[in-house]
Amino acid sequence: MSASPEILSLIPHRPPFLFVDEIVSATPKGLVARRTFRADEEFYKGHYPGAPITPGVLLCEAVFQTAGLYMARKAHAAGLKPGEGVPLIAKISEVRFRSPVYPGDTIQIEVTEKEAMGGFTMLSGVMTNQGKRVMTLDFSVAWKTPENMTKTGESAGPAAHV
């Protein structure tokens, strides 16, 4: 499955570094997305060859991209136009991995806004695979126009893009 046009219009990520295939649902306080990890993805060639599992950092990235979708929808609802800022990760905490994700697994990703304060949005993320919890994490995001943003979308700033 490839990403929906809505996803491509909301966040700057593109294959091979796009880890959300579709938006399942959205509310004013969160968003649910889905991603199928395909066996032919390049990272499986080197991450436990012969017994591949999805790297935990990429599972986190899928949650962050889902948060980026949520934040972009929220920013657009507030009147910002596409390209007028990007979500940047400010803090990651309480990451818990409960079970691995294998090639072929379709995971559901849910992000929920806990609080917004001082230019930061605190969120929680839950990833499930067939109803079984895969991972949970708490993190903070700031919506910013990064300094030193180049025309190609690269940033030299200290914060990480979602």
Task: Just list the catalytic residues.
Answer: 47
Tell me, what DSSP letter sits at residue 131? T
Least Cα distance to 68 among 76, 79, 43 occurs for 76
Token pair of 54 as six digits:
């999805």
**β-bridge pairing 132-144 and 86-97:** antiparallel
Token pair of 63 as six digits:
């949650």
Do residues 99 and 132 touch, judged by C-beta distance below 8 A?
yes
Structure-token match 């994700």, residue found:
101
